A and B are shown apart, each in its own frame.
Chain A
Amino acid sequence: MSVGSSEMQTLPSNPEPDRGRPLWLDILGIATVILVLVDLFGALLWVPREVQMGDVQRIFYFHMPSAWLALGPAFTVVFICGILYLWKKELLYDRIAVASAEIGVVFTTITLVTGPLWAKPIWGAYWTWDPRLTTTLVLWFIYVAYLMVRSSFPEGHRRARLLAVVGIVGWVDVPIVFMSIRWWRTIHPTLVSAQGMDMDPSMQAMLVFSLGVFTMLYVYLMVVRVGQETVASRLGRISQQIHIR
């Protein structure tokens, strides 16, 4: 059974599903793994050591792209798909939204775990109720609640409508997280100021590369996850059809 295929819907009249996995998906997966390893090598060995923070600053090259992946593409796709679902009433948007929310939660978890490990040697504390940290934690709770709501209701338009609303309302926290370091006093580092990025060019290059790799990782995970949701939904319908007959 291929995650990206659409053969399962016609299974009752064509019971032999195509079990071939698309080649492009394998190529995308292999390229993503290679690039993540290159990214890891760059972050740990290639990029120069930050003078004030020392080696622990290297967490930044996975911490910041994780936050970008979650707040940028992942939760924004949930928001957009929520709107599209309410407009078009197509369950495909619900499936894309849940896949994206799940990936967003995974990478927000990485952000919330790596941040304190960076903060402890720099700030002297794992956690402070800083606006950036607090709003990110709230965001994590919102999307964990989203996934819990999804798992407690049966598949259908009622669940999709509820989740679309949660996804749209929950997204309001994303710009708040982003702007928190500008709106309130914070000890969280500000990467981009009015003067631009205050970083060594090689560190900037490493960061841009990491952002690209994490975006590619998001695309790969989305293709796999949306494919799984689609196949699961079709298998559910086929199972119902078989038992009705």
Chain B
Amino acid sequence: MGDIGFLALGYGFIWLILGSYLFTLARRQSALRREADRLEEELSRKA
């Protein structure tokens, strides 16, 4: 593999790792939103 191949692989991995992390953050965010919705529902039922 030449210079460009290693360069492409390097930047490919960078975006893969960053993308995976951002995806994890987005999933956590939606899980928190679901939990907030569930608690709201539970509260309104109890009220």
| Residues of A participating in the B interface, judged by any CB pair closer than 8 Å | 1, 3, 8, 11-12, 15-17, 40, 44, 54-56, 58-59, 62-63, 66, 106, 109-110, 113-114, 117-118, 120-121, 221, 224-225, 228, 231-232, 235, 238-239, 242, 245
Residues in chain B near residue A16, CB distance under 8 A:
40
| Residues of B participating in the A interface, judged by any CB pair closer than 8 Å | 2-4, 6-7, 9-11, 13-14, 17-18, 21, 25, 28-29, 32-33, 35-36, 39-40, 42-44, 46-47
Q: Are B33 and A55 in contact (CB under 8 A)?
A: no
Given contacts A12-B43, A15-B43, A242-B42, contact A114 B10 (CB under 8 A): yes
Q: Are B32 and A106 in contact (CB under 8 A)?
A: no
Q: Are B47 and A62 in contact (CB under 8 A)?
A: no
Within the assembled complex, what's the spacing in Å between the Cα atoms of A152 and B33? 24
Instruction: Please list the 6 inter-chain residue pairs (A to B) with the smallest Cβ-Cβ separation, ordered nearest first.
Output: A59-B10, A54-B3, A117-B10, A55-B3, A56-B3, A15-B43
Within the assembled complex, what's the spacing in Å between the Cα atoms of A62 and B10? 9
Within the assembled complex, what's the spacing in Å between the Cα atoms of A245 and B43? 11
Within the assembled complex, what's the spacing in Å between the Cα atoms of A15 and B47? 10
Q: How far is the CB of B24 from chain A (nearest CB, A)?
A: 9
Q: How far is the CB of A56 from chain B (nearest CB, A)?
A: 5
Q: Are A245 and B46 in contact (CB under 8 A)?
A: yes
Q: Are B6 and A120 in contact (CB under 8 A)?
A: yes
Given contacts A114-B13, A228-B28, contact A15 B40 (CB under 8 A): yes
Q: How far is the CB of A210 from chain B (nearest CB, A)?
A: 12
Q: Are B39 and A118 in contact (CB under 8 A)?
A: no
Q: Are B32 and A113 in contact (CB under 8 A)?
A: no
Residues in chain A near residue B2, CB distance under 8 A:
121
Given contacts A114-B13, A235-B32, A235-B35, contact A59 B6 (CB under 8 A): yes
Within the assembled complex, what's the spacing in Å between the Cα atoms of A238 and B11? 43
Residues in chain B near residue A235, CB distance under 8 A:
32, 35-36, 39
Residues in chain B near residue A11, CB distance under 8 A:
39-40, 43
Residues in chain B near residue A224, CB distance under 8 A:
25, 29
Q: Are A114 and B39 in contact (CB under 8 A)?
A: no
Within the assembled complex, what's the spacing in Å between the Cα atoms of A77 and B39? 33
Q: How far is the CB of B11 from chain A (nearest CB, A)?
A: 7
Q: Are A242 and B39 in contact (CB under 8 A)?
A: yes
Q: Are B3 and A121 in contact (CB under 8 A)?
A: yes
Q: Are A109 and B17 in contact (CB under 8 A)?
A: yes
